[in-house]
Amino acid sequence: MRIVNALRFAAAVTVALIAGIVIISHVSAQLPVLKVTSITISTGASGEVDVEARDIGTPGLGAWEIGVVYDSTLLTAVSCTGAQGSVCNTSFASNRVQIVGANASGLQGTNILASITFRCNGEGSADLSIVIDELSDATIGGPSPIGPGINGGRVTCAESSGLPDMPSSSDDDDDDEVTTLPSSGQGTGRPNTVNWLIAAAASLGLVTILSFGAARLFATRGDA
């Protein structure tokens, strides 16, 4: 009888461990992530990286203000194109591109928020770091902060010999290294602004969002 009870206990422990592993894996897979893709380009050339919001659940991403920080001695931010209601400012600071946007319906799943074109000024490698000033869900009237993982990117600048004719983008999820959200003040101190932004997206549309985003971006210029 003792042997039977021991076997039952061992089986129960095994089932519990397997269930725990499945639950943890599921939660980890669904962790919201902000990501910057990586790219390798030749010295003197330009290439584009994407800023993505990944695995965003219900009710979706409603408002965001994100900075992408880079090494200005190696890279120049040539341009930035917003998507999904984003507006960009490549002149926000000497080493930072700022992205602001909102979507009243809520962005769920994986979406590109902006695409940034960088030019390589020399040979080397530069990390692209994400700083979150605001990231909130799409609950109208009471948006909640979203605490994502962060997956920074990298621009590698190399001599043209041996490189492909076109810039190569690296977007291999298996190699992603997700870090926890740094202390950046996201989700605090501006609830009224976020509420207004989401409400404006719902009622007045993209023109209002673009106007608000541009005013906010260019009113807060300064070195990071």
For 68-80, write each residue's pLDDT tens digit. 999 999 999 999 9
Enumerate domains of the chain plus CATH numbers: 33-219 (2.60.40.680)
- In sign, the C-alpha dihedral spanning 102, 107, 110, 112 is negative
Distance CA(117)–CA(193), nearest Å, equals 29
Q: Considering the chain, what percentage of its residues have pLDDT values greater than 90? A: 54
Q: How many CA atoms lie within 13 A of 138 on its CB side?
A: 18
Instruction: Quote the Cα angle for 38-117-61, to 5°.
Output: 70
User: Token pair of 145, please?
Assistant: 């902060």
Q: Which residues, 6 or more positions from 66, have their beta carbon under 8 angstroms from its beta carbon?
A: 34, 51, 98, 99, 100, 113, 130, 131, 132, 133, 135
Predicted pLDDT at 160: 74
Tell me which residue of 110, 117, 186, 180 sits closest to 151, measured CA to CA.
180
Highest mean pLDDT among 16-20, 133-137, 205-209, 220-224: 133-137
Nearest to 64 by CA among 222, 204, 220, 193: 193
Strands 124-137 and 46-69: antiparallel
pLDDT tens-place string over residues 22-76: 344 444 447 899 999 999 999 999 999 999 999 999 999 999 999 999 999 999 9
**C-alpha to C-alpha distance for 72 and 90, rounded to whole angstroms:** 12
How much of the chain is helix, strand and coil, in % rounded to 5? Answer: 25, 45, 30
- Looking at residue 104, its pLDDT comes to 92
Q: From residue 164, give the alpha-carbon distance in Å to each of 40, 42, 168.
A: 9, 9, 7
Highest mean predicted confidence (pLDDT) among 129-133, 170-174, 187-191: 129-133
How confident is residue 18, by pLDDT bands cut at 50, 70 and 90? Answer: very low
Q: Does residue 137 contact residue 102 with C-beta atoms inside 8 Å? A: no
CA distance 193 to 168: 39
Whether residue 165 has pLDDT greater than 90: no
